[in-house]
Each structure stands twice: as structure tokens, then as C-alpha cells.
Amino acid sequence: MSKVALITDIAGQDGSYLTELLLKKGYTVHGIIQHGRVPDTESVCDDLQANNPDFYIHHYGWGEIFDLGKLLALIRPDEIYNLDITSETATHSTLPVARISALRMLEAIRSQGLEHTTRYYHASSSALCGLVNGMTINEMVTFNLPPSDTVARVSDFWTAVNYRETFGMYACNGILFNHESPRRSESFVTRKITRGLANITQGLEKCLYLGNLNALRDWGHARDYVKMQWLMLQQDKPEDFVIATGVQFTVRQFVTFAALELGIKLRFVGKGIEEKGVIAAIISPVAAALKVGDVIVAVDPRYIRPSEVSKVSVNPSKARRQLGWAPETSLQDLVIEMVQADLASAKKRARL
Ligand code: GDP
């Protein structure tokens, strides 16, 4: 008998990669989608549905209370991946969505008598750590003063821990740091950069406007991170894990790598909101329509956040030690994959 998995927010980047991974492993996968959710991966979901008889999508309407108990009674999942769907920052636009809280899901599991058979993964996030500038984060982090829109997520985290300790349920949290891919929404800086620069090479845009170029982030590939989510549910006992690469780059470095992949050598001039990315050399025909001296990156104060974590280091060694997990994709390879996907799409749009 194949294992059955339930994934919430199948329309997101992680939901789509996790679905692909589990289908490859022979699982039957059920995904939940809410109408009104702006999908990151509509076409991926459609393709998966068209080509996999073991993949089912369950829709529910905006404002509708989804009957989780009924679904769990029907499909009796071995594993549930609750991928939280809302992003915290005002710049992200995945709303409107109604979260399925850890409490709701864990209670639904109990109400169906599945508490000793169904394993529960909760997608926690680095946002829980709050304003932890300069700290090194591992599983021992205390959540200090999270932003108000993250309070519900802190509650989810502790609910999963509480159900594990109180009811002996297999419930765990993955505290994931930034993970990107060509399926990332454009409200995140990586995708905004790869799409923006690809558009510029094809004459679809003139300049990419960004906020804090000095911000440091630990960026991994979402495809690597969903493997870790699966691994977390395959252990003898449930535990929480921090997931990150352990290596950080600045937004400016990400821009530089993406430009290079498009055949553009950039030089940054000026400081603060006056900083600009100027073309220093064109090294591939992809960027042949541009010329040396063109300003293609500039700072727009509208994208500078009033307060944020601009520097944090992460120690994911527990995941390496206990689960043998290590990210397989380097930042350079991630950039190449994202740029090439956006370049292909920009070329298509430029031809229209
Ligand atoms: P986050 O780590 O979840 O906030 O992921 P983001 O991709 O939204 O932001 C990563 C970093 O990029 C943050 O430090 C932002 O301040 C910085 N950043 C600089 N310019 C931009 C921009 O134009 N858009 C976004 N989303 N972030 C930007």
C-alpha cells in the first residue's frame, strides 16, 4: 500500500516541490488549495494533476470553513505537511488566505483517532526569531519579540511542541530560512532580481529598483529544503530542526551573480539611496541590446523596510548531524536556474 500524504497550500513553491518529491517516492498526495490564494505555481499544479492519477486537489472557498475532520476520515493520511502560506512582510502579496493553524490540524487528527498513526510537519519560519540582528540561530533560539503578524506562527510552533509532549504525537517544526527557486513569488527579492534583470536584457524593462542592498540572507533551493521536510517525518522520534545552508550573501551579491549569468558585469557606484548598478562590460550576446554605462539597478526608498533583520547567521548543523541532510544546490547554481527560467520567459514575452 502506498503512503498517503496531505499537503496544505499546494499552490505554493514548497507545496509543488514537495508534491513532486512524494509522488516520485510512490505516495498518494492530497493537496489543499484555497480560492483567492494567488498561486505561485498554477501551471505546475495543473501539470502534476494531468499526469498523476495519485494526486488529488481539494479546493475550498474564501470564507468557507474547510472540513478537515471529514477529509482526514476519508484519506487517513500517514503524513501531513502543513505549509503555512502567509508571508509576514507587507511587501509580500500572497494574501488573502486563511491559515490552517497547527491547533486546528492537530485537533482534527485527534478527532479522527489518528494521533498515533499520522505524522505532522509544521512549516515554521525564520520570521519567528524576530529582530535577531547579528545573532547565530540554531534550534535553541528563543523567539524574542516577534513582529505582531508572526505571533500566530509562534503559537503554531508551540502547539506542535505541546501536542508532541502532551499527547505523544509525532509532530515537529521545521524552522526554514529563505529558500528560493524559479517558482518563488516575485514579491521576494531573489525572484524580483532574476525576473527584472532578464526583462532588462530583452528590452522589457529599463531599471531594477530595490531596497536594502546590504541585507544579508541565507538562501537555499526550495527543492533541497522539501527533502528535509520529508526526512523530518521519517525519524524514530519527532524533533524540530533549523534548515539553512549556513552561508550568507548580500542582496548586492545576488544581483551581481544574476547579472553575470546574463552576460553583464556590473559596477556599483554611490552609497545608500544613491547607489546604482552600472554596466561595466557586456560579456555575452544575451545582453547585446544593452551598453556599457547603462544604469540598470537603483535604490528606491519605498523598498527599504523601516525595521528588519539585515544580518543573521544560521547554524543548521543539527540537520546535518542527525539527518545527514546537506543542501545540494549552491547559491551560484540556484541563481543560474532562476535566471535561465526568467530569461526563457522574458524572451517569449519580448516576441509577443
Ligand atoms: P524575507 O527574508 O522573507 O524578508 O525575504 P525577501 O526576499 O522579501 O527579502 C530579503 C531581503 O532583501 C530583505 O532584507 C529585504 O529588505 C531585501 N530587499 C532589498 N530590496 C528588496 C526588494 O525590492 N524587495 C524585497 N522583497 N526585498 C528586498
Q: Which atom of ligand 1 is nearest to the CA of 209?
A: 23
219 C-alpha to ligand 1 centroid (Å): 11
Please determine, for residue 6, whether its predicted confidence score (pLDDT) is greater than 50: yes
pLDDT of residue 40: 67
Q: Which atom of ligand 1 is nearest to the CA of 178?
A: 2
Question: For residues 36 and 180, which has the higher predicted lDDT (pLDDT)?
Answer: 180
Closest C-alpha residue for ligand 1 atom 25:
189
Whether this prediction's pTM lies above 0.90 is answered by yes
- The best mutation among 189, 216, 255 to test binding of ligand 1, ranked by most ligand atoms within 8 Å of the C-beta, falls on 189
Closest C-alpha residue for ligand 1 atom 13:
215
Average pLDDT estimate for 17-41: 86
pLDDT of residue 1: 82
Lowest-confidence segment of 154-158, 232-236, 253-257 by average pLDDT: 154-158
Cβ–Cβ under 8 Å, residues 81 and 7: yes
Q: How far is CA 167 from CA 113, 160, 164, 170, in A?
A: 12, 10, 6, 9
- CB under 8 Å to 70, separation ≥6 — which residues? none
As separate numbers, helices (DSSP H) first and strands (DSSP E) second, the chain gives 10, 17
Which SS3 state, helix, strand or coil, does residue 207 take? coil
Q: For residue 93, name the pLDDT band (cuts at 50, 70, 90).
A: very low
**Can you state the percent helix, strand and coil of the chain, rounding each to 5?**
40, 20, 40
31 C-alpha to ligand 1 centroid (Å): 29
pLDDT of residue 311: 73
337 C-alpha to ligand 1 centroid (Å): 19
pLDDT of residue 80: 98
Closest C-alpha residue for ligand 1 atom 28:
189
Average pLDDT estimate for 205-228: 96
- Tens of pLDDT, residue by residue over 131-163, are 556 666 777 666 666 666 677 888 899 999 999
Q: For residue 91, name the pLDDT band (cuts at 50, 70, 90).
A: very low
Closest C-alpha residue for ligand 1 atom 2:
178
Closest C-alpha residue for ligand 1 atom 10:
189
Q: Which atom of ligand 1 is nearest to the CA of 127?
A: 3
Please determine, for residue 263, whether its predicted confidence score (pLDDT) is greater than 70: yes
Q: How far is CA 232 from CA 25, 71, 83, 294, in A?
A: 15, 23, 14, 48
Q: How far is CA 322 from CA 81, 220, 242, in A?
A: 20, 19, 12
Average pLDDT estimate for 206-227: 96
Question: For residues 308 and 173, which has the higher predicted lDDT (pLDDT)?
Answer: 173
Q: Which atom of ligand 1 is nearest to the CA of 310?
A: 14
pLDDT of residue 180: 97
Closest C-alpha residue for ligand 1 atom 16:
212
Only one residue has cell 492530497, namely: 30
Average pLDDT estimate for 44-60: 86
Q: For residue 84, name the pLDDT band (cuts at 50, 70, 90).
A: low
Please determine, for residue 89, whether its predicted confidence score (pLDDT) is greater than 70: no
Residue 256: which H helix or E strand, with range? Answer: helix 251-261
Ligand 1 pocket by C-beta < 6 Å: which residues? 89, 91, 178, 187-190, 192, 210-212, 215, 217, 251, 303, 305, 308, 310
Cis bond before residue 96 (omega within 30° of 0): yes
- The best mutation among 84, 177, 188, 314 to test binding of ligand 1, ranked by most ligand atoms within 8 Å of the C-beta, falls on 188
How large is the C-alpha radius of gyration of the chain?
A: 21
pLDDT of residue 115: 97
β-pair type (55-60, 28-34):
parallel
Cβ–Cβ under 8 Å, residues 81 and 4: no
Q: Which atom of ligand 1 is nearest to the CA of 305?
A: 16
* Alpha-carbon span 67 to 56, nearest angstrom: 16
